[in-house]
Structure 1
Amino acid sequence: MGNASRAAIIGDRRITGLSADVIAELVAELGPLWHEQHQTKLMSRQRKRAIGAGARHRLVFVDRLLATLVHLRHGATHDVLACWFGVDRSTITRAIGEVRPLLAERGCTIGPGVRLRTLAEVVDHLGASEETGIIDGTEIRVRRPASGRKDRDRFISGKSKQNAVKTMVVTDGDGRVLFCSPTRPGSCADIPHARQSGLVTLLADGPAVEILTDAGSQGLGARTGGRVITPPHRTFKKNAPDRYEEMHERQRTAHSSRRIRVEHGIAHLKNRRALARRLGRREHISDTVQAIAGLLSRQQTADLTSTRQK
């Protein structure tokens, strides 16, 4: 790829969803990691010629990173990216497969040099900062498993009746993404998902934090010492006292108004076309979700810092 095309991708935020400063930070941070990983791979097998001999990479690391960012932002196929970058399709596939895990391992950025990589770190951060966390699950449509697989029905969502995987998204009160869990098959409900992710244990034994969830997590409050707050139950199903309906609706509206920020965070995640509908391998969807969450949180933090400086 020529310097003009590379500069056009970096300079236009609509292409990658990231500012030029954030991309420069990614290059400086991930470049040495990718090079070390590549050298380790070369040293791990028997060789007939010295390391460094032979043809040079036609796709340098900066272009590998940009191809991955464009793929995550717009869901562009590997064939299209191969034509754009002037390489073979297999080169793009290999590049994305190498860079995507590095992006996923970065975690979510909440401040200069401060990142959250695990759910335990998120709970500790919320407790230390005395902020309210908001949790919600979201589904990502995936290809139907091949006929004859014994776990084929596990991916059918009981909510959307489609083949999907589910991830648990955690944001703060402003809607900034703090964490996305590894994906689970779409048949997994919210409460089992929270239990399998370790959230119940972390909240029950951890700091006193306030976590807002929807009605799908009813019952988690009792298991976490009241730390999980769900919409109020309906006390009266019949013969409700006067004005009960109005009070109940007001309470549910107040809870929904506080919890709506997580929906905004999920919407920002789904703006990345790679999460609108997954057409690739399901084995890579967890890395894709966590890579996009890390990129989004880093850009949100950069935008917030820039606004405060003004």
Structure 2
Amino acid sequence: MGNASRAAIVSDRRITGLSADLIAGLVAELDPLWHERHQARLASRPRKRAVGAGAKHRLVLVDRRPAPPLVHLRHATTHDVPACWFDVDRSTVTRAIGEARPLLAERGRTVSPGLRPRTPAEVIDHLGADGKTGIIDSTEIRVRRPAAGRRDRDRSISGKNKQNAVRTMVVTDGDGRVLFCRPTSPGSCADITHARRLGLVELLADGPAMAILADAGYQGLGAQTGGRMITPPHRKFKKNAPDRYEEMYERRRKAHSSRRTRVEHGIAHLENWRALTRHLGRREHMSHTVQAVAGPLSHQQTADLASARPM
């Protein structure tokens, strides 16, 4: 494949999901990290030949990291497709994806050029310092069913959609920008259990004054977090409710739902990366895959928001 064709693949946002400028920044950032880990891996075992001997990479830097992983994550293609595009063997693309995925996952979510929250505590501190409201929700990603006879085979079955899935919790700001994605858990785990296992209750109760909007799946956490977790109003009457109460309840419920709409937009942007629509690979890679998508996506969202705001 010629240089012009490769440049067209890398620069087309429809293919990689990122602008050419952001890809260039990723290359400059990931290159020293990859070399450092590569050299440490080579020096960690006894060798019969010198470091650096043997076959060299056929992919140039921008093609090797991170273009094939971005193409794979964006479109959920088999490894044969980017291998055909870049005129290399499938095993070369598989190795490139395996090398770049953890590097992309560890970048964190970009809020500003110098700020990348990586933990829930950092996200809460950021929202509290800026006086912003966070929005939280969970999403499910379909996965392959575990083999028959495997232990805990039924743990991945979602009680909501009755399908094999893993679940991740997403936190966005008021602009729908992804701030945090929790490592995946089995689909049978409830939303409120996710929040408790993550330590979100303690972080909110002891953290700065702020608000987190959540849906009915998190009801009960408002009292435990000092009112910082805001959920839809409880329904006091299950039947034979007065008309006045029904009108007030619906008005409050719709007002809360409209404020939470941005998190649905953020989840939709995540699922535009087809690797998070239905994952056909190994389930052990799902947590890294979610993080690897959320990091570059938030970086692109931050760049788009900065260009859209008037100077």
- Counterpart AA for 2:165: A
- 2:3 aligns with 3
Q: Quick check: 1:47 aligned with 2:47?
A: yes
Task: For residue 260 of structure 2, give the secondary structure of its aligned residue in structure 1.
Answer: helix
Offset of residue 244 of structure 1: 1.3
CA deviation string 1:4-49 (max 9, x = no partner): 1221012211011101110010000001111111111111122222
Task: For residue 108 of structure 1, give the secondary structure of its aligned residue in structure 2.
Answer: coil
Q: Quick check: 1:136 aligned with 2:127?
A: no
CA deviation string 1:108-166 (max 9, x = no partner): 00111210111110011111111000000000000001111121000000000000000
Larger deviation, residues 118-127 vs 48-57? 48-57
- 1:27 aligns with 27
Write the distance in 2 (CA, Å) between the matches of 1:278 and 1:156: 15
Write the distance in 2 (CA, Å) between the matches of 1:275 and 1:171: 17
- 1:285 aligns with 286
Percent identical pairs in the alignment equals: 78
Offset of residue 242 of structure 1: 3.8
Write the distance in 2 (CA, Å) between the matches of 1:61 and 1:166: 34
Alignment of 1:34-73 (within 5 A): 34-64=34-64, 65-73=66-74
Write the distance in 2 (CA, Å) between the matches of 1:184 and 1:30: 28
Larger deviation, residues 5-14 vs 192-201? 5-14
Offset of residue 260 of structure 1: 0.7
- 1:243 aligns with 244
CA contact (8 A) 2:135 2:171 kept: yes
Write the distance in 2 (CA, Å) between the matches of 1:132 and 1:78: 40
CA contact (8 A) 2:216 2:231 kept: yes
Offset of residue 297 of structure 1: 0.5
Q: Quick check: 1:221 aligned with 2:227?
A: no
CA contact (8 A) 2:6 2:86 kept: no
Task: For residue 138 of structure 1, give the secondary structure of its aligned residue in structure 2.
Answer: strand
Task: For residue 111 of structure 1, give the secondary structure of its aligned residue in structure 2.
Answer: coil
Write the distance in 1 (CA, Å) between the matches of 2:5 and 2:198: 42
Cα root mean square deviation, aligned: 1.2
CA contact (8 A) 2:155 2:186 kept: yes
- 1:190 aligns with 191
Question: Where has structure 1 moved over 6 Å in runs of 4 or more?
Answer: none
Write the distance in 1 (CA, Å) between the matches of 2:51 and 2:161: 52
What TM-score results when the alignment is normalised by the length of structure 2? 0.97
- Counterpart AA for 1:14: R
Write the distance in 2 (CA, Å) between the matches of 1:133 and 1:101: 26
Task: For residue 4 of structure 1, give the secondary structure of its aligned residue in structure 2.
Answer: helix
What TM-score results when the alignment is normalised by the length of structure 1? 0.97
Write the distance in 2 (CA, Å) between the matches of 1:61 and 1:113: 25
Write the distance in 2 (CA, Å) between the matches of 1:11 and 1:164: 33
Write the distance in 1 (CA, Å) between the matches of 2:24 and 2:94: 23
- 2:305 aligns with 304
CA deviation string 1:178-206 (max 9, x = no partner): 00000000000001110111111111111
- Counterpart AA for 1:276: T
Offset of residue 259 of structure 1: 0.4
CA contact (8 A) 2:16 2:71 kept: yes
- 1:171 aligns with 172
Larger deviation, residues 49-58 vs 185-194? 49-58
Task: For residue 275 of structure 2, give the secondary structure of its aligned residue in structure 1.
Answer: helix
Task: For residue 135 of structure 1, give the secondary structure of its aligned residue in structure 2.
Answer: strand
- Counterpart AA for 1:118: T
Write the distance in 2 (CA, Å) between the matches of 1:40 and 1:6: 30
Offset of residue 309 of structure 1: 5.1
Write the distance in 1 (CA, Å) between the matches of 2:243 and 2:293: 49
- Counterpart AA for 1:58: R
- 1:77 aligns with 78
Offset of residue 240 of structure 1: 2.6
- Counterpart AA for 1:50: A
- Number of equivalenced pairs: 310
Unaligned runs of 5+ in 1: none
Write the distance in 2 (CA, Å) between the matches of 1:122 and 1:160: 30
Write the distance in 2 (CA, Å) between the matches of 1:123 and 1:106: 18
- Counterpart AA for 1:231: P
Write the distance in 2 (CA, Å) between the matches of 1:174 and 1:301: 10
CA deviation string 1:57-91 (max 9, x = no partner): 11233212100010011111112222222222222
Larger deviation, residues 34-43 vs 283-292? 34-43
Write the distance in 1 (CA, Å) between the matches of 2:308 and 2:268: 21
